[in-house]
Chains A and B, each alone.
Chain A
Amino acid sequence: MALDRNIYDAILNGNAKQAYAATQAALAAGAEPMTLIQDSMVPAMDAVGKLFECEEYFVPELLLAGRAMKTSMELLKPLLSAAGQKMAVRVIIGTVKGDLHDIGKNIVASMMEGSGFEVIDLGTDVTPEKFVNAVRENNPHVVCLSALLTVTMQAMKTTIDALETAGVRAQVKVLVGGAPVTSQYAREIGADGYSDNASGAVSLVKELLGQLAA
């Protein structure tokens, strides 16, 4: 593994300018984009996740690290695209119908992208139909549903039911999360998993997809 310390530290410290500069420098020195992601970005975001789990990092640090990671990705994504390279795991994420909250969802999306997954973010107030269409068009491995309110949580069930009715439920793993969501509720509505934090969501994807997400 070829760790680029500058990229790693920039992301860990939430320094977007340094992440950009370090990525530019690494590319200029001949580093491969996918190698930078796998060997520097993913370990950095993994370290960020661990710091959050042991309560040394909190939501602001996650947001800053996510921004640094995205700044680095701005340089890497076009190069991956041009070379026809794709990530092994594709995730669709969105806040369910009627719910406009997105900060938790954004953090999960960030952690997933930083872990080397391709993330398609559908935004907020996403109808069950829109989730179904996104699954049909993109063939994701995982669908993540977010809700912050108990009044909108129930749209998680209608979304899962819609995936079932459309005949696409079996081809995805469905994860749910958000402040009022519980593992019991996840089980009741037929989700494949639940996490109460973004780092846990990434671990869950790796667990559910096995070798594919390793």
Chain B
Amino acid sequence: MRLKAIICQVFTREMEDIIARSNHTIDLEIIPMGLHSRGAEMHTYLQERVDAADDAGYDAILLGYALCGRGTEGLQAGKTPLVLPRAHDCIGVLMGGHQNFNAYFQEHPGTYFRTPGWTEFQTPDSELEPPFAATRPQLGERSTLKELIAEYGEEDGKFLFEQFNAFRKHYTGLTYISLPVASDEASRSRARAEAAKEGWKFEEVKGTLTILERLVNGEWSGGDVLLVPPGATIHAKMGDATLDAE
């Protein structure tokens, strides 16, 4: 098959690895991390990318996104079917689906999750230049301390930065999801360092590439991958089903 893959940057190393081993021809488009924080903009942005690929004669467009805070809800397939993982987010995808994730989540409250992608492309200090900055109308959670001080002054800027990052104090543990990618060891070290810095207990679980492999290899009939036929729209479904196409 000839496939287009539009993926979140968080899956970069995983997808590069799987695509390299695939028998299909896959054109890869990587979108910077952070769309999930953009609310309704995520849907609009992804629909534009899907529409841009729709006329290129692909057999399907693979999406390296899950429900992602409802960011994929409402995406419509044009002439080309869409295929995406049935999970709430990247953590669920890399833990092998929502049921696996939920079982762990219920037993481990207060957990901050990291994956190779999260540690490589996102940092806890928000020091990286945030993506989509040009379209961001106002300062908020993804702003750096420097930006907030520049806008609001030293005292108010520091207060705001503390407010936006205060939620991190509620976490008690960091769980690193280990995956069979080249960056795994380096990512694990960074995750361990982050846990130490925050005073969080470090744990590691073995993740799985199974759902992404099914996506790339055209194994779309199982329950953990959703095929969106031409003209159909993605709907969110609370509970294990997560996503559906109508």
Contacts and interface: CB of A to CB of B under 8 A. Distances in A.
Interface of A: 14, 55, 58-60, 63-64, 67, 98, 100-103, 106, 124-125, 148-151, 153-154, 179-180, 182, 185
Contact of A103 (B67, B137, B148, B167): B167
A101 B105 contact: no
Contacts of A151: 88-89, 92, 98, 101-102, 105
Given A63-B163, A149-B88, A150-B88, A125 B69 contact: no
B70 A58 contact: no
B133 interface: no
Interface string B168-182: 001100000000000
Nearest to A55: B137
Contact of B238 (A64, A67, A154): A154
Given A60-B160, A100-B110, A150 B138 contact: no
Task: Decide if the interface of chain B is mainly helix, strand, loop or mixed.
Answer: helix
A67 B137 CA distance: 23
Nearest to A107: B163
B69 A179 contact: yes
Interface in B222-243: 236, 238-239
A1 B122 CA distance: 52
Given A150-B67, A151-B102, A60 B239 contact: no
Contacts of B16: none
Contacts of A60: 138-140, 148, 151-152, 160
Given A60-B152, A179-B39, A179-B69, A150 B140 contact: no
Nearest to A59: B140
Interface string B36-67: 00010000000000000000000000000001
Contacts of B39: 179
Contacts of B88: 149-151
Contact of B170 (A55, A125, A153, A185): A125
26 contacts: A58-B138, A58-B139, A59-B138, A59-B141, A60-B140, A60-B151, A63-B160, A63-B163, A64-B159, A64-B160, A67-B159, A98-B106, A103-B163, A103-B164, A103-B166, A103-B167, A124-B170, A125-B109, A149-B88, A150-B67, A150-B70, A151-B101, A154-B238, A179-B39, A180-B69, A180-B70
Nearest to A181: B70
Contacts of B98: 151
B152 to A, nearest CB: 7
B141 A103 contact: yes
B156 interface: yes
A102 B139 contact: no
Given A60-B139, A150-B69, A150-B88, A102 B159 contact: no
Nearest to A189: B238
Nearest to A125: B109
Contacts of A180: 69-70
Nearest to B108: A98
Given A100-B171, A180-B69, A150 B156 contact: no
A82 to B, nearest CB: 30
Interface string B136-164: 01111100000010011000100110011
Contacts of A148: 69
A14 B98 CA distance: 43
Ordered nearest first, which 9 A-B pairs have the shortest CB separation?
A100-B170, A58-B138, A151-B88, A150-B88, A180-B70, A180-B69, A60-B160, A101-B167, A63-B163
A33 B152 CA distance: 30
B149 to A, nearest CB: 12
A100 B167 contact: yes
A148 B239 CA distance: 16
A26 B106 CA distance: 51
A58 B141 CA distance: 12
Nearest to B162: A63
Contacts of A59: 138, 140-141
Contacts of A149: 69, 88-89
Contacts of B139: 58, 60
